C-alpha cells in the first residue's frame, strides 16, 4: 500500500506540473517576446519547487537521494570605494537592482533551469508511458521513474564542482575574516597593554637616571619598580605569544597543549587523547583554540565544575568532544564564542555540533574531515575475504602461465629446442603452438593486473564512502 500511495502522490503532482508548464510557456513568451523580464524569476522559483518536490518523491520511493543540480547563488553585491554598486556598466546607490540583475542572470545561464523546463515538458509523457507498470508493479515502475528523474534533475559533475568551489570560497573568506579579527586583537593588546607598559618603563628609567646624582635611594626605588614592570611586561608578552601560537603546541603537539590548558583551567578537566600521529600545524592550531574557547565558555558562562575532553581520530577525520557539567542552554546566536569556533573550523570544512539542553550537560562535538595523515588514517581498508583470497590466488599462480608456459616456452620454440619438457604449447600441433604461447603470456599479464588493481579499486570505493559528509552528529 505504501508504494501505491507514492504512485498517487506522483500522479497528483502531475496536476501541478501541467499548471506550471502552461504558466512557464506564457512566462517565456512574455519574457523573451515582449521584454517582460520581471516575470522570469518567480516562474523559475515555481518550476524549481515542482522539480524539487519530484526529486523528493521519486528519490524516496526508490530509496535514493537525487541531489539538486543548481549552480550556487551569486554573492550579494559589494559596494565600491565610493559607496556605489556596479552592475555591468551601470552604477547604483543601493544593492537592490544589482542583486536582482545578478539573480536574473544566474537563473537564465544555469543549465539546470532549462533541464527543469525540459523535464516539465516531457514528464507527463513519461508518466503516461509508465502508468501500466506503476499500477501493476509499483515498485518496478517507481524505480524506472526515479531513473528518469535522475537523468534530467540530478546534480552534474559541473554543478557539484561549482558547489565545492563556492564552499571553498566561503571558507576562505571566513578564514580571512578570522585572521583579520585575530590581527586586530593582537594589535589592540600590544597597543593597550605591552606598548603602554614599555612607555611607562622607559619613563621610570629616565626618572631614575635624573635622580642618580641627587637622590640615590629614590633612584634605587625607581629601578626596583622598573624591574618589576619589566617582569610584568615579559609575562604579558608571553601570554600574548601563547595567544598567537603556544610554544607547547608547536613543540609537543595538540594532546600536550590541551593538557597544559587543562592544568591552567580553574575547572577539573580530564583529557583523553588517541592520536598516533600529529595533524598539520594549522589543523592543530584550529583545534587547540576551539578547545580553549570552549573551556573559557564553560568557566565563564556555563557554571561548570568539571569538563571532559576527548580527542581522537576516525579514519582520516579528527574528532574533538568537549562535555561539561554546567547548566546548559548554550546558544551560538548569543555570541558565546561558538560562532568564532565555527568560522575557525570552516577553513578546514569542519563542523560543530552542540547539544546543550537547559540544565545541562553541554556537549560540543568538533569534526575536521580528511585532515589526518593518510598513511595511518585508515585509507588502506581491509579487503573482504573473497577479495583477499582472489588476490592471493592470482599473485601465487600468475607466474605460471606468464613465465614457464609463456615466455620460456616461446623462447624454446624460437630457438628450435626439441626438448618439450613440461611446456604445454610444445605438445600441441604446430599451428596451435604460437597462439598457445601468446595466450599464456596474455593470461599471466591479466592475472597480475587484476591482482594489483583489485585492492586499489576497493580502497578507492572505501575512500569515497568515508568522505560522505556527516551533517548530523547527534541523532
**Which residue, 243, 7, 250, 16, is CA-closest to 131?**
7
pLDDT tens for the 475 residues of the chain, in order: 778 888 888 888 888 888 888 888 888 777 776 777 788 888 899 999 999 999 998 888 888 888 888 888 887 887 877 788 877 677 888 888 888 888 888 888 888 888 898 888 888 888 888 888 888 888 888 888 888 888 888 888 878 887 777 776 666 666 666 666 666 666 676 666 677 777 777 888 888 888 887 888 888 888 888 888 787 777 777 666 655 567 778 788 888 889 988 888 888 999 999 887 788 888 888 888 889 888 888 888 878 889 999 999 887 889 999 999 888 887 776 655 677 788 778 777 788 888 888 887 889 999 988 888 754 434 445 667 777 888 888 888 888 888 788 888 888 888 887 777 778 888 888 888 888 888 888 888 888 778 777 776 655 444 444 444 333 333 3
Q: How many CB atoms lie within 10 A of CB 42?
A: 11
Nearest-angstrom CA–CA distance, 194 and 109: 55
Residue 472 to residue 351: CA distance in whole angstroms: 10
Q: Is the pTM of this model over 0.95?
A: no
CB contact at 8 A, 120 and 20: yes
* Cα distance between residue 336 and residue 316, in whole Å: 30
DSSP per-residue letters across 390-403: HHHHHHHHTHHHHI
Pairing of strands 362-368, 351-355: antiparallel
What are 287-308's pLDDT values in tens digits?
888 898 888 888 888 788 899 9
> 434-443 burial, b if ≥16 CB within 10 A, otherwise e?
eebbeebbeb
Cis amide leading into 340 (omega within 30): no
Closest to 170 in 3D by CA, of 22, 348, 12: 348
CB half-sphere exposure, 260, CA atoms < 13 A:
15
Residues 6 or more apart from 295 whose CB is under 8 A from it?
A: 261, 262, 265, 267, 269, 307, 322
Q: Strand pairing of 306-314 and 317-324?
A: antiparallel
- pLDDT value for 469: 39
In whole angstroms, how far apart are CA 422 and each of 389, 398, 400? 28, 17, 12
d(CA 227, CA 233): 10
At 362, phi and psi to the nearest 5? -105, 125
Distances (CA, A) of 131 to 56, 142, 245, 346: 19, 10, 66, 47
Q: How far is 280 from 257, CA to CA, in rounded Å?
A: 14
Within 245-323, residue ranges assigned H as helices are 247-252, 254-264, 281-300
Cross-sheet strand order for the sheet of 317-324: 268-274, 306-314, 317-324, 362-368, 351-355
Task: Classify residue 332 by its DSSP letter.
Answer: G
Residue ranges with strand state E in 329-433: 351-355, 362-368
Amino acid at each position: 500500500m505504501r508504494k501505491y500511495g507514492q504512485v498517487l502522490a506522483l500522479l497528483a503532482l502531475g496536476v501541478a506540473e501541467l499548471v506550471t508548464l502552461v504558466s512557464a510557456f506564457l512566462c517565456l513568451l512574455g519574457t523573451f517576446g515582449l521584454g517582460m523580464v520581471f516575470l522570469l524569476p518567480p516562474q523559475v522559483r515555481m518550476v524549481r519547487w515542482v522539480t524539487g518536490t519530484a526529486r523528493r518523491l521519486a528519490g524516496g520511493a526508490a530509496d535514493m537521494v537525487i541531489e539538486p543540480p543548481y549552480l550556487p547563488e551569486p554573492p550579494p553585491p559589494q559596494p565600491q570605494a565610493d559607496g556605489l554598486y556596479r552592475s555591468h556598466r551601470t552604477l547604483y546607490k543601493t544593492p537592490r537592482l544589482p542583486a536582482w540583475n545578478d539573480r536574473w542572470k544566474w537563473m537564465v545561464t544555469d543549465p539546470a533551469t532549462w533541464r527543469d523546463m525540459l523535464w516539465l515538458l516531457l514528464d507527463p509523457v513519461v508518466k503516461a508511458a509508465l502508468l501500466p507498470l506503476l499500477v501493476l508493479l509499483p515498485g518496478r515502475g517507481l524505480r524506472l521513474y526515479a531513473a528518469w528523474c535522475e537523468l534530467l534533475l540530478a546534480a552534474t559533475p559541473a554543478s557539484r564542482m561549482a558547489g565545492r568551489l563556492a564552499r571553498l570560497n566561503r571558507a576562505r573568506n571566513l578564514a580571512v575574516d578570522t585572521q583579520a579579527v585575530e590581527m586586530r586583537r593582537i594589535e589592540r593588546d600590544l597597543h593597550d597593554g605591552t606598548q603602554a607598559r614599555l612607555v611607562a618603563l622607559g619613563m621610570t628609567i629616565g626618572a631614575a637616571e635624573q635622580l642618580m646624582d641627587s637622590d640615590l635611594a629614590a633612584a634605587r626605588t625607581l629601578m626596583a619598580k622598573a624591574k618589576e614592570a619589566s617582569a610584568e611586561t615579559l609575562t604579558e608578552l608571553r601570554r600574548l605569544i601563547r595567544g598567537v601560537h603556544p610554544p607547547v603546541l608547536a613543540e609537543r603537539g595538540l594532546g600536550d597543549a590541551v593538557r597544559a590548558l587543562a592544568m591552567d583551567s580553574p575547572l577539573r578537566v580530564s583529557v583523553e587523547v588517541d592520536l598516533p600521529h600529529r595533524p598539520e600545524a594549522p589543523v592543530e592550531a584550529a583545534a587547540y583554540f576551539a578547545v580553549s574557547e570552549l573551556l573559557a565558555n564553560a568557566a565563564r558562562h556555563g557554571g561548570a565544575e568539571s569538563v571532559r575532553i576527548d580527542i581522537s581520530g576516525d579514519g582520516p577525520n579528527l574528532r574533538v568532544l568537549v562535555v561539561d557539567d554546567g547548566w546548559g542552554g548554550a546558544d551560538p546566536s548569543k555570541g558565546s564564542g561558538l560562532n568564532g569556533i565555527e568560522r575557525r573550523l570552516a577553513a578546514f570544512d569542519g563542523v560543530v555540533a552542540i547539544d546543550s539542553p537547559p540544565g545541562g550537560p553541554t556537549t560540543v562535538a568538533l569534526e575536521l574531515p580528511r585532515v589526518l595523515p593518510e598513511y595511518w588514517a585508515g585509507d588502506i581498508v581491509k579487503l573482504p575475504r573473497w577479495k583477499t583470497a582472489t588476490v592471493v590466488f592470482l599473485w601465487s599462480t600468475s607466474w605460471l602461465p606468464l613465465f614457464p608456459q609463456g615466455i620460456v616456452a616461446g623462447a624454446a620454440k624460437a630457438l628450435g629446442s626439441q626438448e618439450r619438457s613440461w611446456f604445454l604449447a610444445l605438445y600441441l600441433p604446430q599451428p596451435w603452438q604460437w597462439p598457445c604461447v601468446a595466450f599464456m603470456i596474455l593470461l599471466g599479464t591479466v592475472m597480475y593486473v587484476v591482482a594489483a588493481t583489485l585492492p586499489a579499486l576497493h580502497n578507492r570505493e572505501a575512500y569515497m564512502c568515508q568522505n560522505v559528509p556527516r551533517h548530523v552528529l547527534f541523532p
